[in-house]
Structure formats: structure tokens, C-alpha cells
Amino acid sequence: MKRIVDVSGYGCKLKLDCGRLVLEGKDGSLVTIPVAEVAVVVLSNAAVSVSGAVLAELATEGVAVIVSDRAHLPVGLFQPIAANSRQTAVLLGQIQAKPSIKSRLWRKIIEAKVKSQINVLRENNRKWKDIAAIKVGRGDVSNVEGTVARSYWQRLGLFPVRDRFAKDANCFLNYGYAVLYATTARALCASGLNTSLGLKHCGPTNVHCLASDVMEPFRSVVDRAVINWVKAFPDTTEISRECRQSILGAILGSRWRTSIGNVSVFDALSRTAVTLRESLLNDSVELELPEYCGREVA
């Protein structure tokens, strides 16, 4: 099973040795992990050292690397360049995709996102039936996504308002979403899709617009993790090592229902990426969006 590796030790160095990623602590301690088992590396401490050679090898193996600031919040993403044999054909398919197809795909994504939010509300005994009655139009031109999101966060009551710059539980969401964003971008690149070409998201500051689109229905796994953390530690706003491990554990341990059975988040995102690619190439809505079905029992 693939891993998300969080590197948080002050002065820690990342090295490579015979296909293994070596984490060397300042005290000389060593932790080794086969590179083939790694999906994402999160550098949670600004004092971690890593060489260009290590980054190049990780990229070759399809590993995404997230860089964090001094507050442990992700601020950068080092993403492998896609090496899919169909990359050129897929790029043309993305560029030439009909607006009507992209509009229908976006509606399907938002329908899945709203359904996932309803499930979270139900699990937390919050009002949800009025949201279930809302219909998403083609392309979501009426912005059902935004309307539902406002009600969703108000009913959960984690914070006064969803604000990614606020120093409250929003920080936990920011961390989890950044990891999910990187994991999604990795799956899309592996399928040959160009992540700069989004269905809905666009903007000069977002180089992975398509990842922002595709991750929407998967956000609920982070929401659940943060809700549980806030319930357990209501007075803390620090993104501690324990907090990060809790969120990463929720993402890694999540199971997703697909047409071929329940799979990990990595396989779920890969399946979504491949079916999105085929939808764009074939001018059809073949997109499969797996549904969260719980956590893996250790």
C-alpha cells in the first residue's frame, strides 16, 4: 500500500540508498522506506534538508513533495512531470473537449460533493434534508456548490466562517486539503492529464486547476478527520505532529466504494483520473467518483 510520509524532525535530512528513502534525524537515527511505497512526502518542518538528486529520484518514481512553512502549513508542491505514453493525445483531447461535456462533468462532480457533505451532516446529527432536495444544474451556473458549502459549515459549527487565513480549525482543514490536493494532482498526472487545464477552476496562481476540480468530492475525508480532532481537542489550534498524523491516518485509511469494490484513496483517485481522461477523449460522461465508505480496520 502506498504511503504519505510526514517529515517533521528539526534538522532531518532526506537521502537515497538503493531504492530506499532514508530519513536521517539530527541525532543520527535512521528510518528507511522503499521509494516504491511512497506516494507523497510532506516536509512539515522548514529545517528539513533535501538535495536536488533526491527530488529528481522521487519525481522519477512519481512521488509528489509538499513543502511547509514555519507554521507547518503547506505552501508549495513539487509535482512529477507526467510521463504517460498517451500524454500528447490526452492534452489535445483536453483542449478540444466540448464545453457541454466539461459542463456535465462539473455537474457530476458537484453532485458527488454535495452528497458527501450530506453524509457528513447526517453522521453528525445535523439538519440535511433541505440540502438533499437541491438540484444541481448543468455546469452549476447557479452556484449550488457555494450555497451548500455555506450551510454545511454553519451547521457543523467548527468555526464562525470557512476562512483559510483564520487561526482556528480552518488551519487543520488547510493542511488536510493540501495533502489531498497533492495526492489528486499526482493521480491526474499519472493518467496523462494536464492538471493546468481545469473543468471549472482557473487562475494564474493555481497550476493544478484540474486537481482543484477533481478533489471536491474527496474533501469529506479531511472534514471527518478535522471534526473528530476538534471534538477530542476543542481548545487547540496548533497543527501538531499528532494532529498531522491523525489527518494523514484518516486519508490513508479511508476506503472508497467503486464499481470494482472498495479501494484505497490512491486507487480511488486513480480510477477517477482514468475515467475523467476517457470522458474527455470520448466526449462522454464516463467519470466515476467513488463514495467514502469508512476507514480500514487496522
Domain 3-78, what architecture? Ribosomal Protein L15; Chain: K; domain 2 (3.100)
Domain boundaries, the chain: 3-78, 87-295
CATH domain 87-295 topology: Four Helix Bundle (Hemerythrin (Met), subunit A) (1.20.120)
Report which DSSP code applies to 134: P
Helix (H, G, I), strand (E, B) or coil at 125: coil
Question: Could you list the pLDDT tens digit for every one of the 298 residues in the chain?
Answer: 788 999 988 889 999 999 999 999 988 899 999 999 999 999 988 889 999 999 999 988 889 899 988 877 788 888 877 555 567 888 899 999 999 999 999 999 999 999 999 999 999 999 999 999 999 988 888 889 999 999 999 999 888 778 777 788 899 999 999 999 999 999 998 888 999 999 988 877 777 899 999 999 999 999 999 999 999 999 888 899 999 999 999 999 999 999 889 999 999 999 999 999 999 999 888 899 999 999 875 5
Concatenated DSSP letters of 151-211: HHHHHHTSSSS--TTSSSTHHHHHHHHHHHHHHHHHHHHHTT--TTS-SS---TT-TTHHH
Residues 29 and 209: their CA atoms lie apart, in Å, by 39
Grid coordinates representing 89 are: 493525445
Q: What does the pLDDT read at residue 82?
A: 56
Helix (H, G, I), strand (E, B) or coil at 87: helix
Q: What does the pLDDT read at residue 222?
A: 98
The residue type found at 239 is: I
Q: What does the pLDDT read at residue 192?
A: 87
Residues 252 and 265: their CA atoms lie apart, in Å, by 7
